Structure 1
Amino acid sequence: MEPNELEDRDRTRRYVLAGIVVALGVLTAGILLEVLGTILFALTAAYVLIPVQKWLVRRGFTEWTGAVGATVVGFVVVVAVFSPIAATLYFRLDEIIGFLEAIPPEVPITAFDVTYTVDVAEVQGLAIDFLTTSAIALASSLPVLAIKFALFVILLFALVLKGEAAARAAVAPVPHEYRDVVYALAKRARETLYAIYVLQLATSVVTLIIAYPLFWALGYDIPFTLALLAAILQFVPIIGPSLLIVPIAIYHVVAGELVAAVLVAVLGIALVAWFPDVGVRPRLARRSAGLPGSLYFVGFTGGLFTLGAIGIVVGPLIVAVFVEAVDLLADEVNDDTDVSDLLEPDLEHGDRGDELVTDTEASYEESPSRAADD
């Protein structure tokens, strides 16, 4: 058999196997639909923790113990992030509801000597119902959440341990001339996940550390709960903790406490909403994808509304990979062509049009009828 025929047969075999893997993957995803969010969370977390495992291996750990160490790091981080949220809903629910109930049902707003009354009772009721329903749902789903968390830890360990082999298997069917595209997309995905997990998490931790003493010093009854909400809102791009600070300031204005409103607005925006982005983010952003805030916001909101909580990660990730694919296509089509070079044909066409107009005017001026009219 000719070498070319053997090569074509091997390539066809790889494509067939890749098609089988994709088909089985789709079938598996349909069967595991209820835990698909957990699987995606484990996949993205493992992608970030694989460098931790490699760092441990370089320090003398084996592949297996390094994977255990990286999994422990992921386990501790997840527990540290989600346990305060669950504890707040369980132990501080009455205080949060009491704070919401203390808001006046009607808010008078005066503008141009005209007073308008805003009815906030309906929004107040919706917020209280949402918190109550969320707490009940959390309590009733604790056994399922425990099983999903155990699945997450097991998957995380397996993916960290065998991540390199899985990556090689995924890239193997791709022709060599297209592997640079795969590597570019993988690099953008890694940078985006670093920005979401490491950079956003560090910014949220700093927000919590700053917000708690601030709210305590300002005399709030639930300073830790408010600080935790500010830290969670740090994951919301662009607006972030301002979603918490602004309503609190408005509440003080409505209650006639102008000094408290100014203090919480100025100090909250400057220290809680602004300083973590300025003080922490630039120091950690060198390995991030540099995705514009507007696109990050689109991915965040779209993923959240479409996929739920896991969409907070998957949405920006998909947008970032899409942007990278567009950049690759633009580089492939335009190469090193400048914008002026792309517009040059239009400019030449415009020059020819001007020349045509000039020639027409000259011919008109030189025509016998034009001379007779003059």
Structure 2
Amino acid sequence: MALRWKSADRVALGVVALIAIITLLAFFPLVKVIVLALSLAVVLIPFQERISKRISPALSAFCITFGVVTTGVMAVLLTFNVLYTNMDYLISLINSILDRFRTESSSDLITRFPDLGLEGLIDSVLLSLKQLLFSYLTLVPGVAVELLIFILALSIFIFSGPGMKADLNAMIPVDSRRNILVIWKRVYDTLYSIYIVHFSIAILTFFLALPFFWILGFDHIVFYAVLCALFALIPFLGPVFILAFLALYAFSIRDIRALLLIIFIGYPLLCVFTDMYLRPVLMGKRVEIHPVVIFIGFLGGMATMGLVGFILGPFLLSLLIGGYQIVVQEIGGVPVTPEESPVTKG
């Protein structure tokens, strides 16, 4: 297929482009919400294609959207509630660790540790975090509107996705399809890794952490399990920070049993098994996104775009990597032959 630039109505195309620009500027504050819905729909479209063979496409899109949104909202509300209600407990736990080192250690460095102002700094950070969580709760009306737009956009993207995919595929010249496939595969693999693999690892970590912290004997089991699940979303980090903090607490109160359990059971179970073994297995050979890229995308995206950057950061870096591969292919002559992703099959 060749693009029909000579026979195309350029005036009409210009008007369409102008309308698109005006619409983008008018709805620019909601662009992140729309892009987030589109990115999730990309991963869910294969499910839509399979389910719509048995029921109507409209009902299939509704069921998928309802299930995903309900699960996501319940998970977010539970997480915020657990974190907010246990913030005072976390502050008291840190103060207990600092007090123990201050009163029992004979080391000059640790004796002067509180004089460095670190205790007040930690309290200030934790209180700021608590205020931040409360501020998010006060933004419920605006968040509710964005959530409604997200739900509607997700539903229409899932419903129209198969048709849009076919239309876009027909518009791409045959000579360019291989290069476009490079970008598409990178994008799909990244979104698959974020939505399917990382959230699956987080859920598994949560359920593995519950019995571990019960055996450990610490209070607030759900609180620690939620923290481990949140950190498990980020490659390399995992729940290691939570376990290191609890190991420090166990050492400060001379609980050798808890310390040994954290080192020899908690770390292998919640960090090594899930992050170093299971995550690469679930991503599989088809997902060729390096964990370092996803890690940079997570942190950089959240630093520049807020919570939505958790998704858009790796997404944009994947587009950049796909573009780099195309440049290498077209200018350097290095062959790039990515395998066809599941979304492009059929």
TM-score (norm 2): 0.83
Provide the secondary structure at the position in 1 that maps to 2:197. Answer: helix
Deviations 1:151-200 (A, max 9, x none): 21111111111123444555666544323322321222111101100001
User: Take 2:166 and 2:183, find their aligned partners in 1: how far apart are those partners?
Assistant: 15
Q: Which residue of 1 aligns with 2:82?
A: 88
For residues 238-258 of structure 1, the C-alpha deviation after alignment (integer angstroms, 9 at most, x for no partner) is 122112111221232233334
Partner of 1:42: 37
Aligned partner of 1:88: which letter?
V
CA gap of 1:112–1:308, structure 2 versus 1, over 3 A, is: same
The size of the alignment, in residue pairs, is 330
Asked if 1:239 is matched to 2:234, the reply is no
Asked whether the 8 Å contact 1:43–1:159 carries over to 2, the reply is yes
Do 2:229 and 2:239's aligned partners in 1 also have CA atoms closer than 8 Å? Answer: yes
Matched, 1:72 2:66: yes
Give the Cα–Cα distance (whole angstroms) in 1 for the partners of residues 107 and 87 of structure 2: 40
Match of 2:266 in 1: 268
Question: Shift of residue 301 of structure 1?
Answer: 1.2
CA spacing shift, 1:254–1:11, aligned 2, 3 Å: farther
Q: Out of 225, 228, 233, which is 2:223 matched to?
A: 225
Q: Deviations over 1:26-62 (max 9, x none)?
A: 543443343333222211111111111111012x111
Rounded to whole Å, the distance in 2 between the matches of 1:310 and 1:206 is 23
The CA distance in 2 between the partners of 1:29 and 1:247, in whole Å, is 46
Do the aligned residues in 2 keep the contact of 1:194 with 1:287 (CA within 8 Å)? no
Q: Is the 8 A contact 1:48 1:190 kept in 2?
A: yes
- 1:306 is displaced (CA, Å) by 0.8
**Which residue matches 1:186?**
184
- Whether 1:51 aligns to 2:46 is yes
Could you list the runs of 5+ residues in structure 2 that have no partner in the other structure? 336-346
1:9 aligns with 2:6: yes
Q: Displacement of 1:308 after TM fit?
A: 0.8
Question: What is the aligned counterpart of 2:252 among 251, 254, 279?
Answer: 254
Contact 2:100–2:252, Cα closer than 8 Å, also in 1: no
Aligned in 2, Cα 1:253/1:237: closer, same or farther, shift over 3 Å? Answer: same
Q: Partners in 2 of 1:188 and 1:53 — Cα distance?
A: 21
Alpha carbons 1:211, 1:230 under 8 Å: kept: yes
1:195 is aligned to 2:193 = yes
Task: Mark the CA change 1:75 to 1:7 in structure 2 (over 3 Å): closer, same or farther.
Answer: closer
User: Rg bigger for which structure?
Assistant: 1
Which residue of 1 is the match for residue 139 of structure 2?
Answer: 141
AA in 1 matched with 2:260? V
Task: Give SS of 1:220's match.
Answer: coil
8 A contact 1:192–1:320 mirrored in 2: yes
* Partner Cα separation in structure 2 for residue 22 and residue 306 of structure 1: 28
Task: After TM superposition, list the pairs within 5 Å mapping 1:302-341 onto structure 2.
Answer: 302-335=300-333
2:55 to 33, 54, 61: 61
The one-letter code sitting in structure 2 at the alignment partner of 1:123 is L
Distance of aligned partners of 1:21 and 1:248 in 2 relative to their CA distance in 1, 3 Å threshold: farther
Structure 1 residue 110: Cα displacement: 11
How large is the Cα RMSD of the aligned pairs?
Answer: 3.1
Unmatched 5+ residue regions in structure 1? 338-374
Deviation at 1:274, TM superposition (A): 1.7
86, 98, 118: which one pairs with 1:104? 98
Residues 291-312 of structure 1 show CA distances to partners (whole Å, capped at 9, x for unaligned) of: 1122221111111101111111
Matched, 1:28 2:23: yes
Is 1:292 matched with 2:290? yes
| Inter-CA distance 314–262: structure 2 relative to 1 (3 Å threshold) | same
Report the alpha carbon displacement of residue 334 of structure 1 after superposing the two structures with TM: 4.0
More off after superposition, 81-90 vs 107-116 = 107-116
Identity %, equivalent residues: 23
Which amino acid is the alignment partner of residue 10 of structure 2?
R
Is residue 186–residue 319 contact of structure 2 (8 Å, CA) maintained in 1? yes
Change beyond 3 A, Cα 1:170–1:26: farther
Provide closer, same or farther for how the CA distance between residues 118 and 257 of structure 1 changes in structure 2, counting only shifts above 3 A.
farther
Q: 1:218 to 1:185 in 2, by over 3 A?
A: same
Deviation, structure 1 residue 64:
1.0
Secondary structure of the residue that 2:218 maps to in structure 1?
A: coil
Could you say if the C-alpha distance between residues 93 and 113 of structure 1 is closer, same or farther in structure 2, counting changes exceeding 3 Å?
Answer: closer
